[in-house]
Amino acid sequence: MRSASVLLAAAALVGQAVAAPPSYITRRIAAVDASSADNSCNVTNQPIAPSQDPWYTAPYEFEKEAPGTILRVRPAPGNLSSIAGNCSAAYNILYRTTGSLYNPTWAVTTLFVPQNVSGNGTGSLLSYQIPYDAVWVDASPSYALYGGVDTDIGISLGKGWFVNVPDFEGNNASFTAGVLSGHATLDSVRAVLNGADRFGLPADTNYAMWGYSGGALASEWAAELQVQYAPELNFSGAALGGLTPNVTSVLFTIYDGVEAGLAPPAILGLTNQFPDVYDYVVSQLKTTGDYNATSFLATLNYTLNDNIGKFALKNMSMYFDGGLDTLLKPLTQKVINSDGLMGYHGVPQMPLFVYKAVADEVSPINDTDALVERFCGVGVNINYQRNSVGGHAAEGTNGNAAATAWLDSIFDGTFASSANATGCFVSNVAVNVTDSQF
């Protein structure tokens, strides 16, 4: 979930001048919109959109395989490794995972191999969850990365880290479906480790997660679910920025503002894991007027930026016959409670670095405060930084250096001997890198 690009689109709609977005957002926009990018430089073996590429299908009886089993693998088509920089190879891996209803399903991850592997006989694997925030499968990172690879990936590769980038929304682009996102993230790491010999991972490889906003959603759910879903995995840590612990709270924060474009894909993405609930929600959309089902459902073929331009400043309650109360009925509330509330599926067994802007305009800071307090109460090691500067998008840049330094300590072994290696630490900081208030 990101808002700086939302602000730009909203400004265009209302004729206001808004400063350029923080570099964190700039690094994302091209990647999310790669479905329309010119890939003509790939003269052979060009990437094909997932909805059109037959490679994006699971083999017969894949359901019988264990979660994390590699079902298909290929060198990433085109020039993805050269786009990333510091990269010797890139692979697409299609693997078995588990949906929000604990049904067998599949997803795809992209693995970047560094030119020079760090360590002496040991390795580092960063699972980097990109917030693609769409309910359209063609916005998935395995394809969207051709439009631009985040600089964090290239920098991590330059450190000798392997970088895993999963399409954690799965094959149906279930944006905000927490359980699926967590499962798909965990199983992407399982798949990479299962193919360690093929991909050149050292036998002794440490692994950690990093995600901001929608990427933090997947990372946090993975951290919660690991203890019961993937107990054999031993993560060294997870960096979580701009957390969105409560999807209902987010909806009522953004529903008629500049970030309103996040709502349609979130509503459909969460419920498409529950077909009866999805059908119910769609049945409640108005069929006439400016706020109608056709315009709402167009999000099924939109990137994040498309959603921004179409829905910014529009009142989401106007699309439903019963207003937003439609989404609070027992049928829908059950889904939200099971798949949209962090903190109730397990206790993270790894150290966490959490960072968030106090003035976050997408997800209220109180929700993250409460989540941290809940985990601290049961002994989770957490370093939580609350930034008094900026908002949701700005914190993606403002908090980047601290998250990077924390991950460096995780992988170089210095974290274990640091003062923050055990316990719960909450600090208020004032970090201003972007000079942006958003």
Other Cβ atoms within 10 Å of 334 Cβ, number: 12
Burial readout 280-301 (b: 16 or more C-beta within 10 A, e: otherwise)? bbeebbbeeeebebebbeebbe
* Residue of 360, 367, 409, 436 marked catalytic: 360
Amino acid letter, 234: N
Rounded CA separation 421/405 (Å)? 14
Q: Which strands, in side-by-side order, build the sheet including 122-129?
A: 70-75, 87-98, 104-114, 162-166, 122-129, 204-212, 237-241, 352-357, 382-387, 424-429
Using alpha carbons, list the distances in angstroms from residue 1 to 14, 257, 320: 22, 14, 23
Please identify which of the residues 152, 317, 363, 392 carries the catalytic annotation. Answer: 392
Q: Which of 174, 213, 317, 409 is catalytic?
A: 213
Q: Is 236 a catalytic residue?
A: no
Return the amino acid letter for 428. Answer: N
Q: Confirm if 165 and 145 have CB atoms less than 8 A apart.
A: yes
Nearest alpha carbon to residue 342 among 236, 238, 202, 193: 238
Q: Would you call 386 helix, strand, or coil by DSSP?
A: strand
Is 187 considered catalytic here? no
Tell the burial category of 260 from Cβ atoms under 10 Å away from its Cβ (0-12, 13-18, 19+): buried
The per-residue DSSP string of 186-246 comes to HHHHHHHHHTHHHHT--SEEEEEEEEETHHHHHHHHHHHHHHHH-TT----EEEEES---B
- 147-150's contacts with Cβ under 8 Å and 24+ in sequence apart are 147/30, 147/31, 147/32, 147/33, 147/34, 147/35, 147/37, 148/27, 148/29, 148/30, 148/31, 148/34, 148/83, 149/31, 149/80, 149/83, 149/84, 149/85, 150/27, 150/28, 150/31
Amino acid symbol at 437: Q
Q: Active site includes 150? A: no
Catalytic residues: 213, 360, 392
